[in-house]
Amino acid sequence: MTTQHVVRRRTLLTALASAPLLVGLSACAGGSQGAGTADATGRIKLAMLQPPRSALTPFSDDAFKLSRWSAAEPLILLDENGDPEPLLATSWEQTDGNTWRFTLRDGVTFHDGALLDAAAVVTALRAAIAASPKPRILDGVEMEVEELDPQTVQVRTADVDPLVPGRLSSPQLVILSPEAYAGSTVSPIGRGTGAFELTELNGTTSATLQRYEDYWGERAAADGIDVSFVPDGTARGAALRTGEAQLVEAVPVSQVALLDQELIHEVPMPRTNTLYLNVTSETFSDPALRAVVREAVDREGLVESVYEGHADVAAGLLGPAVPWAAELRETPSYRAAGTPSGQSITIGTFTDRSELPEVAVALENALKERGFEVRQDIREYANIEEDALAGAFDIFILSRATILDSGDPVAYMVSDFSSEGSFNLSQIQDPAVDEALRRASEAPVGEERRRAIMAAERVILETDAAIPLLHERVIQGEATGLSGAVRDPRERALVDSATRLES
């Protein structure tokens, strides 16, 4: 049966703008908080949480910065419900179980002046398929791409995959100009299709974007965006108070009470703080000792103390931002807990999300009471990810987006918990988990797939390799005079064509 999607109402992706470092982020505020008056050029000053990890290559998590800045775009956009909508592709059809055809939008140019056509799309997608490591959204997916004519691209998968349109919405599959892929690394500078052109990246300090005057969609209201990367949460809060930033992402809960509440905006998000227990470590290869950790955590206490009520207690991997999860959740059958006898364990986490070190302290205290010897290893994320993926820690505390890539939780579950997953921090290789994830991956979109997802969640939780703590909320700072900033639970969008500063 053929499925055809035609053009529907489109929501623009977020605009990317980069800029010089914010000056004096720790300075005392002068005047009213978040005054946010437009400067002479109508540019938006944006303070972001994490610096680029891979020079903004789209095959890494840096891709989400390109998306949040509206600097680069994929073929497909997801609406508020996670359903696919047209973006660079205007329509698509499934011609058989393994084959999809996408019709491209006319009149789209890259920032370097090249024309978007099927050949450019094939170049971009083939580069993603061949990348090592692959983008998470392609974990376990064998995909071939070919040009049928200048405006039509065909995608074939080795297995039946109902999520192909959703996969092609991932910011890690943005379409850049062919010139972006000509060197040994992929560079998005001056190569995207978005409302803003990335013109400069200053390492891990700042980035600069300019409005792209030949953008195919609605012309951006702002002249550009000056982005500063500010891992320190206190400094980001100070930037909003002093007016040195008009838009601040990921305001720490510790800063909320210090800010004018009219500048703070909060929405539930599909992000779960989870303990990843390394099942190959000397201690947690024993499932009974993993069960001790599960029983030791005080989720309610963490929400009330560390997050000051700005989070939701986790009953599973998927939280309230996935509205159907609670209704379909299956109750796990957990193993009985054992008795620790002084085993030494290391907890790892990172400073970029300022609450996580506090969670680590609370967890350390709880596990010491249960009989473990505990030490902590806390660094910036860019300096700890490699060790975490290599299994260097007994427990790693991670704030993890659960439907970031495709709008479907299966991609996250496969990446984090399958034997072949590229983000398998728990080092888990469990046939029962792999089978549950296979069933979820193959289930058709709709009620059947949702039930299979929740069955897979139950199987994963029963291993105690992943112990969910809480679900975060988006806390975003917006200065007085800023309008149209995107409040996106999926953290794909932040600035779009409508975002502006009022004089």
pLDDT tens-place string over residues 93-145:
999 989 999 999 999 999 999 999 999 999 999 999 999 988 988 888 899 99
353 and 336 within one domain: yes
Co-location of 468 and 486 in the same domain: no
How sure is the predictor about 454, in pLDDT bands with cuts at 50, 70 and 90? Answer: very high
pLDDT surpasses 80 at 33: no
Share the mean pLDDT of the chain.
90
pLDDT band at residue 1 using 50, 70 and 90 as cut-offs: very low
440 & 318 share domain: yes
Give a yes or no: residue 92 inside a domain.
yes
Which of 258-267, 272-281, 367-376 shows the lowest mean pLDDT across its residues? 258-267
Is residue 251 included in any domain, yes or no? no
What pLDDT is recorded for position 502? 84
In angstroms, the CA 111 to CA 268 distance is 35
Distance in angstroms between the alpha carbons of the first and the last residue of the chain: 54
Amino acid identity, position 358: E
H helical segments located in 74-191: 118-130, 164-167
For residue 24, pLDDT beyond 50: no
- Please check whether residues 374 and 229 belong to one and the same domain: no
Structural domains in the chain (count): 3
Listed in sequence order, the residues at least 6 apart from 240 whose beta carbon sits closer than 8 Å to its beta carbon are 33, 34, 47, 248, 251, 259, 263, 477, 479
Q: For residues 427 and 418, give the distance between their C-alpha atoms in angstroms, rounded to a whole number.
A: 9
More confident residue, 226 or 39: 226
Indicate whether 142 and 274 sit together in one domain. Answer: no
Highest mean pLDDT among 25-34, 36-45, 97-106: 97-106
**pLDDT score at 417:** 97
Same structural domain, 242 and 357: no
Tokens found for residue 440 = 């979820």
Average pLDDT on 71-76 reads 98
DSSP symbol at 350: E
**CA nearest to 485, candidates 295, 268, 248:** 248
Q: What is the CATH number of the domain that holds 240?
A: 3.40.190.10
Estimate to the nearest angstrom the gap between the alpha carbon of 428 and the chain centroid.
22
The average pLDDT across 354-371 equals 96
> Domain for residue 3, yes or no?
no
Residue where one domain finishes, among candidates 150, 184, 218: 184
Give the model's pLDDT for residue 35. Answer: 53
Using CA atoms, how far apart are residues 441 and 445, in angstroms rounded to an integer?
10
Is residue 132 included in any domain, yes or no? yes
Same domain, 285 and 343: yes
**Who's near 40: CB < 8 A, 6+ residues apart?**
none
CB of 109 closer than 8 Å to CB of 195: no
Domain membership of residue 318 (yes or no) is: yes
Q: Are 353 and 401 in contact (CB under 8 A)?
A: no
Q: Which domain holds residue 25?
A: 9-71+194-246+479-503
Strands (DSSP E) along 183-310, which ranges? 196-202, 206-211, 224-229, 247-248, 264-277
- Evaluate whether 129 touches 170 at the Cβ level (below 8 Å): no
The pLDDT value recorded for residue 404 is 64
The first and second tokens of residue 82, run together, are: 């996670």
The token duo for 379 is 């660094």
More confident residue, 34 or 391: 391
4 domain-assigned: no
On whether both 430 and 448 belong to a single domain, the answer is yes
Asked if 291 and 335 touch (Cβ cutoff 8 Å), the reply is yes
Q: How confident is the model at residue 12 (pLDDT cuts 50, 70, 90)?
A: very low
Q: Does 379 share its domain with 339?
A: yes
pTM of the model: 0.73
Domain endpoint, select from 135, 156, 184:
184
pLDDT at 363 over 50: yes
Q: Is there a single domain that holds both residue 201 and residue 336? A: no
Q: What CATH number does the domain containing 404 carry? A: 3.10.105.10
Residue 257 is assigned to a structural domain of this protein: no
Q: How confident is the model at residue 258 (pLDDT cuts 50, 70, 90)?
A: very high
Statement to judge: residues 155 and 241 lie in one domain: no
Q: Does 258 reside within a domain?
A: no
What HEC string does 435-483 produce? HHHHHHHHCCCCHHHHHHHHHHHHHHHHCCCEEEEEEEEEEEEECCCEE
Joined tokens for residue 277: 């227990």
What is the spatial distance between Cα 69 and Cα 72, in angstroms, rounded to a whole number?
A: 8
Does residue 170 sit in the same domain as residue 41? no
